[in-house]
Structure 1
Amino acid sequence: MKKINILLFVLFVSVSISGQNKGTKAADKLFKRFEYVQATQKYLALIHSGNSDGYIYKQLGDCYYFMNNSIESEKWYSKALKFSQVDNIYFYRYAQVLKSNKKYDEANEQMIRFSSNLPNDSRAIAFTKDPNYLSKLNSIDEAFEIKKIDINTKHSDFGGVLYKNALYFVSSRNEKATIYGWNNEPFLDIYQSNFKEDGTFAEPVLVKELNTKYHEGPVSISRDGNTVYFSTESLNDNLFENDKVNKLKFGQVYIYKATRVEGKWTNITSLSFNSKSYSTSNPSIDSEGKYLYFSSNMPGSIGGMDIWKVAINSDGTYGDPKNLGDKINTDGDEAFPYITDENILYFSSKGLTGFGGYDIFSSDLNINEPPVNVGKPVNSEKDDFAFSFNNERNLGFLSSNRDGSDDIFSAKPIYNGKISLSVKNAKDGIIIPNSKVLIQDKNKTFLDTKFLKENSELLYNVQPNTNYILEIYKDGFVTKSIEVSEIKRGTAMINVLLDPIEEVVVRDNESIILNPIYFEFNKSDITNKAINELDKLVYVMSQNDQINIFVKSHTDSRGSDAYNLNLSQKRAKSTVQYVISKGISNDRISGKGFGESEPKINCKKDCTADEYSLNRRSEFMIVKKL
């Protein structure tokens, strides 16, 4: 898993390796040099010669863990954990490889051991709080349709970022590059592939100006395309600590910046907050070019690698890096941040609750939303990371080793946006039960009618590229119409406050539409339900002699135009007469029938029973008295 080479290079030596002896000296030296392939061979040779113990088992578990071989790692960790002298972190690591192998029950057993020993660890707290997390993760709605793209190789390919028509990514496919002892693959280089209109990609080419003989990491490009940020090693600047014993140049990962001049990347410089004491990597610049997000283990980190951000000043200098805090970061590792145009942060975490390995999470930074697991199929039991999204193409990319090596997948959004509607009394904020919601598109084409339950909350699945108009009805309250803009993903929380009809305040030069009343098919009689509404209208008029009422009556589309016009006139007349019969002066209310000419729902002859009923109505216009 080559991504870790450039991400967590400095972290792995911090794990205790007490228990080494003369017999393991050669293997331990290779392990300290991160040459895990050869170290594994040495440790296995010791075991085959009869020289085995808990320390060697642990070292083998680590070698395979860092090489991302969860099957072998599980085998050796299981042996190591039978010995009493084991650091607590190994219960967590063992749990992670068990999850990667889909052994969730066994993984939970290890998490219980880990949590009992380190109850204040954020990972332990999260597990203790929700030990049955798996069912919740599996119930997450699918947000993206993923597909492996056609430029992957047998080597590591990851970190795809689409800018205009160019996909930038990182790969170890260069057979001429130096072989890295971590997993006997070539060093990582930055590549570019043009995105074609048929959805395929052209043959990738090296971005020569940015590559060196060392590792290069994923890139982030400014909106104008003139600035690129990328990760590489401090060894390029001859900055390292020299481990003479192990013959190792101990470097860091740095973020560098380059500018485009005449189509070439030039002016490559190391960022000012890089340091010999820690690593910085995985840059992501926001759409306005004001902040750079990155991962680092710099002082102030909560866990191993954390997500940070730094302000980019107008003069090109940088502010002080700021940790995104414990809502995002854990005692584990967080890496691969990507900030979208909408200020949604995607990142990968091994510390937050997931399916196994790295999982991809998102957080809406506009509202300081806690991170949420993106769910399957984006996430799997293996490592899932390096999510990015291109708004122009409406297409994302992620990387995963679910098929054995790091590969790049496209991620096409599945629109699962929702409207969550709550209806309350504007006077006291109390929920109004049993409201009715008429759902229309922006052209007022009828889509659906929902009758809300006792708690008066509606959850409605929306369609892509659609704006909605919601009309909320409740007897005794003024009908309210609200517009809802397109919802691409997530849930829009909408609170609707309805004014009680007796609380209506008539203002100058304003008209307010009261709740309509409805009629039975082919009848003009006032129903009992209509009487309740008309009585409220009478009350409003009796309390305010400065308003007049104009009644507009309608029919559904069945019957001839002449017949419907006559029927609607009868409905207007019966409505007016009822109000007058309650003591309201006849000079304050008048009415007119409009037949089928102004349908509430323009469904013509294909109406449902509910749609027909909504068209058979009298509506009330409250106007200021002349």
Structure 2
Amino acid sequence: MKHNTTPQFIFFLLLIALCLAACSPVSKLDRARKTYDIGEYYRAIPTLNKIYRSEKNQYYKGEASFYMAESYRHINQPRKAASAYGRAVRYNYNKNEAKLQQARQLLKLEEYEDALKLFDEYLKEAPGRQLAYNGQTSAKLGLNPPTLTRYQVEPIKKLSSKNSDYAPYLDPTDPSQIYFSSMRMAGKKRKKLNRITGQGSSAIYTSILNSRGEWQDPELFLNQNMDGSFEDGTFSMTSDGKTVYFTRTRYEKSQPMAAEIWMTQSMGGRWSEPVEVELGPDSVVFAHPALTPDGNTMYFVSDMKGSIGGKDIWKVDKHGDSWGTPVNLGTEINTEGDELFPYIRENGVLYFSSDGLPGFGGLDIFIAEPQDDGRWKVSNMGRPINSSADDLGITFYKNREAGFISSSRGNAKGYESIYSFNLPQIQPLASGTVRLSGNEALPRNAVVKIVGTDGTNTKINIDPSGSFSMLLKPDTEYSLLVSVPGYLNHSERISTLGIKESKQYSLDITLTSVGAPMILSTLQFDTGSAAIKSEAEKELSQIIDILNNNPDLKIEISAHTEASGNQDTDLQLSKQRADAVYQYLTDKGIDGNRLSSRGAGSSEPFKVDAKTASKHAFLRENDVLTEQFIQRLNRADQRNAVKLNNRVEFTIIR
């Protein structure tokens, strides 16, 4: 047989071979992987999805699923990412990593039980990875969430668009002006979709709060063209408002270069042409600048050599006009995950977002407080500042627990919006009215002394009307001592520990004249008994307070009984009751030399005073509850009258 070896035939065979190679699953995946590797996640997804649906080979289906999941993760589509990771696990492609990442996506979907199960499985198969241990903690946190903090979070619709609006920043020189990054499309000359996110190109916008408290329509901060050659975002400004640092990502031949930090300065009312800040090699990410108030230290995000995880937070000090050698903030802050969007307050406290530390789902905002030994104390800001979605880019009003964050909560596309937050001030207030037992007018030298665990030690005058008030502090315990000459001092205790909102403590105080006997209404005894009942202990504690508040006071305890028909028995029982009260008070620490006791039996029936008469319709002031008087009453009134006779009186003898 004669073989056809003409040049035309050989070229034809080569063409077929090239076509077959180009149409092979490996070639298609290579092209999709190349798109993924340069960071064009949005653009890679349709190709990977097509390969997955048409491919029969399970290995290639698993590979396509894995990189589709990774792409969905990068553009913040957790539900689609979790599903694709699940397929990669099923097809046994990069199974452990796919399982770990699927669990992390389930956290963002608040599917905590399923996430915890996957984390447990992963750690059995690949123990020792801190990212998975932190994931376990996050899942358990979701299943048993802590109490909400007092922060109030509200969306700012005027600053939000249909696309991502993120990383707000308040002007340190003008709190009525805000800057933020946005991928919005409205008003742009060219509506070219970003190949990484599928949104518009990121740019920095600014808005001003008008006199009515309304944010004005956002405007571009820099005169940025929208041809897709670069994107700007994540803004920081020196405290004098004259220098701005921001993140810029440039594109070369439609491929993104590593993110860079750029700078512009205010000159004659205009911003200068931005210039790049040299921090290291061009191939390394430098992003998310955050300046200290003095402008001499910059915190930023990078994946440079020495990083602990994906993206770490670094800091660098300024020396003259140049920046020094960057320093990694270490394992107290940085993890195997990503740490992003640093923000430094005027008090030196650092705020940042992390998806590697234990949290509630995606990126959470954390506080890092510098310690005297150079370390950091890191804590999660809790809900509602954080959510199961991505929460990032915090900024504060100066000297206020209020500001703005961005969050993708409640957005099915995973796009961020701008939210305001505020920690309502807790303002406890103590107010009261002081009355004298005989309705006498209050003297001018009536005072309340206040001592608090916060160091408070002051006196305030009581108004002639008897009213007083004072502002208290949260998380403090106070002792109040009311003092009026000729009357027993009276104390009150107020605790503001643990209160979650403003609260008013209202006091109604009646002072007892040093010459009037004190009778405790709950100090009653069972018939024939001298045992003190538990319900009397509260009023007896008031007697203890009076004695403690009036250290020079001496009192007589006199016990009285109803008439039983045998005066000797009544006298003996009353003496036993007086002695029981004496013993109770001394057991509570009262010096026995300040007390005396006597039993009066039934020989001194109760004489009704105005206060008692006002409580009982069947009595009038100055009635004496003799046995004959009681016999004329109905049965219910007789029982009440007997209780009044069956009493213990405390009389001041010095």
CA positional deviation for 1:101 = 1.4
Partner of 1:286: 292
Structure 1 residues 122 and 44 mapped into 2: Cα distance closer, same or farther (>3 Å)?
A: closer
Unaligned runs of 5+ in 2: 1-23, 429-450, 460-469, 480-494, 504-544, 557-584, 595-609, 611-651
Gaps of 5+ in 1: 1-18, 241-246, 419-435, 452-457, 467-514, 536-558, 560-615, 619-626
1:430-579 → structure 2 map (5 Å cutoff): 445=470, 460-461=497-498, 518=548, 524-525=554-555, 528=586
Encode CA deviations 1:600-622: one digit per residue, 9 max, x unaligned: xxxxxxxxxxxxxxxx9x9xxxx
Opposite residue 241 of structure 2, the aligned amino acid is: G
Structure 1 residues 287, 465: closer, same or farther in 2, change over 3 A?
Answer: farther
Instruction: Indicate the residue corresponding to 2:338 in structure 1.
Output: 333
Say if 1:401 and 1:417 are closer, same or farther in 2 by CA, change over 3 A: farther
User: How many residues get paired?
Assistant: 438
Name the aligned partner's letter for residue 390 of structure 2: D
Change (3 A) 1:109 1:269: same
Q: 1:258 aligns with which of 251, 264, 284?
A: 264
Return the offset for 1:207: 1.4
- Which residue does the alignment assign to 2:189? 176
**Which residue is equivalent to 1:309?**
315
1:199 aligns with 2:213: yes
1:441 and 1:394 map into 2 onto residues whose CA distance is 24
TM-superposition CA deviations, 1:240-282 (whole Å, max 9, x none): 7xxxxxx764511111122111121115322231322311111
Give the CA deviation at 1:54: 1.1
Structure 1 residues 373 and 156, CA gap change in structure 2 (3 angstroms): same
* Aligned-partner Cα distance in 2 for 1:273–1:438: 50
8 Å contact 1:192–1:204 — kept in the other structure? yes
Instruction: Note the C-alpha offset of 1:521.
Output: 13
Look up the SS of the partner of 1:27 in the other structure: helix
Residue 437 (structure 1) shift: 6.4
Cα 1:272–1:35 change in 2 (3 A) is: closer
* Alpha-carbon distance, 1:337 to partner: 0.5
Instruction: Name the CA distance, whole Å, in 2 between partners of 1:24 and 1:55.
Output: 8
The answer on whether the counterparts of 2:113 and 2:139 sit within 8 Å (CA) in structure 1 is no
Corresponding residue number in structure 1 for 2:130? 122
Question: Counterpart of 1:208 in 2: which secondary structure?
Answer: coil
Matched, 1:226 2:233: no
> 1:442–1:127: structure 2 CA closer, same or farther, 3 Å change rule?
farther
Q: For 1:193-235, what per-residue CA distance to the aligned partner results, in whole angstroms no more than 9, with x for missing partners?
A: 1123443211111112577741111111111111111110255
Q: Following superposition of structure 1 onto structure 2, how do residues 353-372 of structure 1 map, counting pairs within 5 Å?
A: 353-366=358-371, 368-372=375-379
Contact 1:159 1:170 in 2 (8 A): yes
SS at match of 1:298: coil
Whether 1:344 and 2:354 are equivalent positions in the alignment is no
CA distance in 2 between counterparts of 1:415 and 1:355 reads 26
Corresponding residue of 2:36? 31
Matched with 1:412 is 422
Q: Cα distance 1:279–1:26, how it changes in 2: closer, same or farther (>3 A)?
A: closer
The counterpart of 2:48, out of the listed 39, 43, 56, is 43
Paired amino acid for 2:44: A
Partner deviation per Cα, 1:17-37 (whole Å, 9 max, x = no partner): xx9613434433433343333
| 8 Å CA contact retained: 2:290, 2:344 | yes
* Corresponding residue for residue 106 of structure 2: 98
Distance 1:449 1:534 in 2: 32
Q: CA 1:449–1:387 in structure 2 vs 1: closer, same or farther (change >3 Å)?
A: closer
The one of 73, 83, 87 equivalent to 1:65 is: 73
Aligned equivalents of 2:315, 2:555: Cα separation in 1: 68
Q: Which range is displaced more, 327-336 or 149-158?
A: 149-158
CA–CA separation in structure 2 for the residues paired with 1:330 and 1:416: 36
SS in 1 for 2:336: coil
CA distance in 2, matches of 1:210, 1:442: 60
User: Taking structure 1 as the reference length, what is the TM-score of the superposition?
Assistant: 0.62
Asked whether the equivalents of residues 158 and 216 of structure 2 are also in contact (C-alpha less than 8 Å), the reply is: no
2:197 paired with 1:187: no
Aligned residue for 1:21, secondary structure, equals: helix
Look up the SS of the partner of 2:377 in the other structure.
Answer: coil
Q: What residue in structure 1 maps to residue 382 of structure 2?
A: 375
Taking the aligned partners of 2:379 and 2:280, their CA distance within structure 1 comes to 30
Change (3 A) 1:111 1:442: farther
Identify if the C-alpha distance between structure 1 residues 22 and 64 changes in structure 2 by more than 3 Å, giving closer, same or farther: same
Q: Which amino acid aligns with 1:203?
A: D
The 1:211–1:377 alpha-carbon spacing in structure 2 relative to 1, beyond 3 Å, is: farther
Q: Secondary structure at the match of 2:353?
A: strand
Q: Classify 1:99/1:227 alpha carbon distance in 2 versus 1 (closer, same or farther; 3 Å).
A: same
Partner of 1:610: none
Give 1:386's aligned residue. Answer: 393
C-alpha contact (below 8 Å) 2:403/2:421 kept by paired residues: yes
- Please identify, of 142-151 and 350-359, the stretch whose mean Cα deviation from structure 2 is larger: 142-151
Seen in structure 2, the aligned counterparts of structure 1 residues 115 and 264 have a Cα distance that, compared at 3 Å, is farther
| CA spacing shift, 1:197–1:89, aligned 2, 3 Å | farther
2:222 matches 1:214: no
CA–CA separation in structure 2 for the residues paired with 1:33 and 1:319: 30
One-letter amino acid of the structure 1 residue matched with residue 406 of structure 2: S
In the alignment, which residue of structure 2 is the partner of 1:499?
A: none
Give the Cα–Cα distance (whole angstroms) in 2 for the partners of residues 248 and 191 of structure 1.
24
- Change over 3 Å in CA distance of 1:144–1:180 after alignment to 2: same
Change (3 A) 1:282 1:179: same
- Equivalent residue letter for 1:303: G
What SS is found at the alignment partner of 1:460?
A: coil
The one-letter amino acid paired with 1:338 is Y
Separation in 1 of the partners of 2:409 and 2:136?
A: 28
- Quick one: which of 386, 399, 403 aligns to 2:406? 399
1:358 Cα deviation from its structure 2 partner: 0.7
Any idea what the Cα deviations from partners look like across 1:37-77, whole Å, max 9, x if unmatched?
A: 34322233334435462112212212222221122112211
- TM-score w.r.t. structure 2 length? 0.60
1:141 aligns with one of 145, 149, 153: 149
Q: CA deviation at 1:533?
A: 12
Q: Which residue matches 2:564?
A: none
User: Structure 2: how far apart are the matches of 1:130 and 1:183?
Assistant: 27
- The 8 Å contact of residues 215 and 233 in structure 1, kept in 2 or not, is answered as yes
Q: Quick one: which amino acid aligns to residue 124 of structure 2?
A: S
Q: SS of the residue aligned with 1:461?
A: coil
Amino acid of the residue matched to residue 292 of structure 1?
A: M
* Change in CA separation of 1:462 and 1:290 when aligned onto 2, cut-off 3 Å: farther
Relative to 1, partners in 2 of residues 1:416 and 1:449: Cα closer, same or farther, differing over 3 Å?
closer
1:156 maps to what in 2?
164
Letter in 1 for 2:351: Y
Distance 1:149 1:441 in 2: 44
Contact 2:183 / 2:202 at 8 angstroms: preserved in 1?
Answer: yes
User: Secondary structure of the equivalent of 2:230?
Assistant: coil
SS at match of 1:180: coil
- Provide the C-alpha distance between the structure 1 equivalents of 2:25 and 2:546, rounded to a whole number of angstroms: 84
Highest CA radius of gyration, 1 or 2?
Answer: 2
Residues 454-479 of structure 1 show CA distances to partners (whole Å, capped at 9, x for unaligned) of xxxx982378999xxxxxxxxxxxxx
Q: Secondary structure of 1:518's partner?
A: helix
Residue correspondence of structure 1 range 2-17 to structure 2 within 5 A: none
CA contact (8 A) 2:178 2:206 kept: yes
| C-alpha deviation, 1:147, in angstroms | 2.9
Contact 2:292 2:344 survives alignment (8 Å): yes
* C-alpha RMSD of the superposition: 3.8
| Equivalent pair of 1:64/1:70 in contact (CA under 8 Å) | yes
